[in-house]
Amino acid sequence: MEQGPPLYFEDVDLGDEIGPLDKTPTDDAVEAFCDLAGTPVPNRFVHPEEAKRLGLPGPIVPGTMSAAMMSQLFTSWAPTATLKKIDVIFRRPVLHGPIRIAAVVADKRVEGVEHLVECHVYISSQDGDLSVGGKAIIALPSRGE
């Protein structure tokens, strides 16, 4: 998803969709992420035998990596968007392979000097099953500023 043009609070409406952002966390990408995070080995993210030992169908994407990719949806949205908070719940493991990240604008409000947009955000698998869901709050500039 290429970064869009500058976006203002007034440009956004309830129900607007953000994305989708299609990503494919590969075995190599997950291993590289775990290396950056200093994740101890063996682990359920990279090692199939460890994933199997824990009853998982295969190595999974770390929750921190899923959240990072969800954040990217908003940083890619517009150069004027500032992520204020993302709060996600991991409903089921995210397996390596294609995923889709998308969001819907659920609320808009002004708090003090900040113009905030609240979104429902989720990751779904190739089959359309919801794996991770949550909400994000993004600040946008106002045309009136």
Partner 1 sequence: MLELDHARKLLGKEHRAGPFPVTRQLIDEYCAVLGETSPLYTDEAAARQAGYESVLAPPALCVLFANRASLPGVIIPDVRSSGAVAGLVVEPFVTVQAGDFLTASSRLKEVYPKKGRRGTTMFIIWETFLSNQREERVARVETSFAVQG
Beta strands in the chain (DSSP E): 17-23, 82-90, 99-111, 114-125, 130-140
Site for partner 1 in 19-78 (CB under 8 A): 23, 29, 32-33, 36-40, 54, 62-65, 67-69, 71-72, 75-76
Residue by residue, DSSP assigns 6-40 as ---GGG--TT-EEEEEEE---HHHHHHHHHHHT--
* CA–CA separation, 11 and 142 (whole Å): 9
Binding mask 84-123 for partner 1 (x = CB under 8 A): xxxxxxx--x------------------------------
Q: Closer to partner 1 at the Cβ: 59 or 62? A: 62
Applying CB under 8 A, the residues found at the interface with partner 1 are 2-3, 23, 29, 32-33, 36-40, 54, 62-65, 67-69, 71-72, 75-76, 79, 83-90, 93, 134
